Chains A and B, each alone.
Chain A
Amino acid sequence: MSDWVEACAAGDIDEEDVMRFDHGGRTFAIYRSPDDEYFATDGLCTHEKVHLADGLVMDDIIECPKHNGRFNYKTGAARGAPVCVNIKTYPVKVDAGKVLVQIG
């Protein structure tokens, strides 16, 4: 369970921004919130399989670049049409300047 993998350095992501992270044939999105916390979700939108990392982060919300569906990236909750299926989230910790994701 507890396989923490290094996604990036803490400074690689701007505040209130998102980055794509591919690992073991899977794709994730790593977020840095405006209050400087890190979060991770599955990389692909639950509407059509589009990389969320091309989308816009504002506050707690990631907006999909394709059709503007919204998720709360902290909880994974679907927050606006056309998305209706929540997105999976993953635990994140920052250790010695590295962002680690528990991809389980």
Chain B
Amino acid sequence: MARGMVIIGAGECGGRAALALRDLGYDGPVTLVGDEPHLPYERPPLSKEAMASDAPAIKAIASDEVLAEKSIRHIHSVQAVAIDRAAHTVRLSDGSALPYDKLLLATGSTPRKLPMPGLGGRCVYLRTFADALAIRAHLRAGNRIAVIGGGFIGLELAAAARKLGASVTVIEAQPRILMRGVPAEIAEIIHKAHVAEGVDVVCGQGIASIADDGKEVRVMLAGGREISADLAVIGIGAVPVTGLAAEAGLAIENGIAVDAELRSSDPDIFAAGDCCSFPLAVYGGRRVRLEAWRNAQEQGALGARNMLGAGEAHAAVPWFWSDQYGLSLQIAGLSDEGRSTVRRDLSDGAFILFHLAEEGRLVAASGIGPGNAVARDIRLAEMLIGKRAKPSVEALGSPDVKLKALLAPERSHRLADGGAAPHLPAGILSP
């Protein structure tokens, strides 16, 4: 009898992987183990405007009915505590053990902790729905919120807090917000939007000390300024969850190290999503770890295909978005691969920066604007990046030239029709 497929971590990636296994026609046991009490859910809404609603709800990736209909066993509120690679079993915190044929680790990432004494109950992190609800309770007029770290999650939360009338200070040690991965020109637009909405954005100042008496947090900045708040939300990045994999002796390299097919150093164990580092083909196999929602989704599906023996290499281009106030930012590719930029101005103040490598190859595109003004061009740019295209600087810079025309004539890129059956070796679907 088949031991089946086991997925550890019931987040975006694990949830998508479980669904994909069934969509691919696998009919052996599929078990999804997660330590949170919820159905697999989407994290991006946790820091966005959805949080400003009176009763924030989980945005589930699949309902109980869908999981039941697809015979996906979801074990929640239980942690996987050890992998016995020789016996092909996973031990769970409730004392039970699950056998597996193939195992997928989709354990995600967890907020980087601020390495400082003095943090108490008023200093919190945001990763889970439970975290979001706890923070939500403090977001109201009259309350003071200190956001420590000018990264995406902190800035989005700052916008949500302003919407609810709280006063907000963002504290960033670097000279500007969004130092990592976002061009200065775009970070500046976001900075100005926050200032216009009444956020006090303090950059270039480290924190000297923090005092949290359980009722109030006092943040002392290196420059001498003191910021008092009812709540401090710390958003200084995330670290991959690798403990389980490391204890099982799997190779770790800024995340669980996997190959292009998402296979770890054990051929029967795969890893995908925020927890893994993998070779990114579009940049010649540069090893990266992404913390991005679409990557988690795509790698979950790719992991499922490869657990079933598809032998398919990761080929996607990284893509990320963020929403703050009415602004939406989208980034395709990794802009640090670029050596020069070309700017394309769209309507309503929206613009895109195309990042070119030395030899003129398009390697990334970063765009910002109201609503979804940059979405279409960013998506087309993503396809051009995937094709390793070298579009002319003039074409990129002039909004009248349609990017779609640059993809033609051969148009090797198509929008994958999710309904098509992938090519899998015969016999693997029904063990």
Among B96-104, B175-183, B213-221, B410-418, the stretch in contact with A: B410-418
Query: Which B residues are CB-close (under 8 A) to A16?
Result: 404
Type the 1/0 row for A49-61, where 1 means its CB is closer than 8 Å to any CB of B: 0110011101111
How far, in angstroms, from A63 to B376 measured CA to CA in the complex? 9
Query: Which A residues are CB-close (under 8 A) to B16?
Result: 81
Of all chain B residues, which has the CB nearest A60?
A: B417
Type the 1/0 row for A64-98, where 1 means its CB is closer than 8 Å to any CB of B: 01111010100001111110000000000000000
Query: Which B residues are CB-close (under 8 A) to A81?
Result: 16, 297, 301, 418
Contact A72 B373 (CB under 8 A): no
Q: How many residues of B contact A (CB 8 A)?
A: 24
Interface residues of A in 2-21 (CB under 8 A from B): 16
Query: Which B residues are CB-close (under 8 A) to A79?
Result: 417-419
Asked whether any CB of chain A lies closer than 8 Å to the CB of B42, the reply is: yes
Choice from A54, A60, A72, A82 contacting B375 with Cβ under 8 Å: A54
Q: How many residues of A contact B (CB 8 A)?
A: 23
Type the 1/0 row for B358-371, where 1 means its CB is closer than 8 Å to any CB of A: 00000000000001
How far, in angstroms, from A83 to B319 measured CA to CA in the complex? 17
How far, in angstroms, from A70 to B419 measured CA to CA in the complex? 10
Interface residues of B in 286-323 (CB under 8 A from A): 293-294, 297, 301, 319, 321
Query: Which A residues are CB-close (under 8 A) to B209?
Result: none
How far, in angstroms, from A51 to B301 measured CA to CA in the complex? 26
Contact B414 A65 (CB under 8 A): no
How far, in angstroms, from A54 to B372 measured CA to CA in the complex? 6
Of all chain A residues, which has the CB nearest B319?
A: A68
Contact B297 A56 (CB under 8 A): no
Query: Which A residues are CB-close (under 8 A) to B153?
Result: none
How far, in angstroms, from A50 to B323 measured CA to CA in the complex? 13
Contact B415 A66 (CB under 8 A): no
Type the 1/0 row for B12-40, where 1 means its CB is closer than 8 Å to any CB of A: 00001000000000000000000000000
How far, in angstroms, from A51 to B417 measured CA to CA in the complex? 20
How far, in angstroms, from A77 to B61 measured CA to CA in the complex? 18
Query: Which B residues are CB-close (under 8 A) to A56?
Result: 375-376, 379-380, 415
Contact B419 A54 (CB under 8 A): no
Contact A68 B414 (CB under 8 A): no
Of all chain B residues, which has the CB nearest A81?
A: B297
Q: A residues bordering B, Cβ < 8 Å?
A: 16, 50-51, 54-56, 58-61, 63, 65-68, 70, 72, 77-82
Q: What are 21 A-B pairs with beta-carbon distances under 8 A?
A: A51-B372, A54-B371, A54-B372, A54-B375, A54-B376, A55-B376, A56-B379, A60-B417, A61-B417, A65-B375, A66-B321, A66-B375, A67-B294, A67-B321, A68-B379, A70-B416, A70-B417, A70-B418, A72-B417, A81-B16, A82-B42
Nearest 5 pairs between A and B by C-beta? Answer: A65-B375, A80-B418, A65-B372, A54-B372, A61-B415
Given contacts A72-B417, A81-B297, 6 further A-B contacts (CB under 8 A): A50-B372, A56-B376, A67-B293, A80-B418, A81-B418, A82-B297
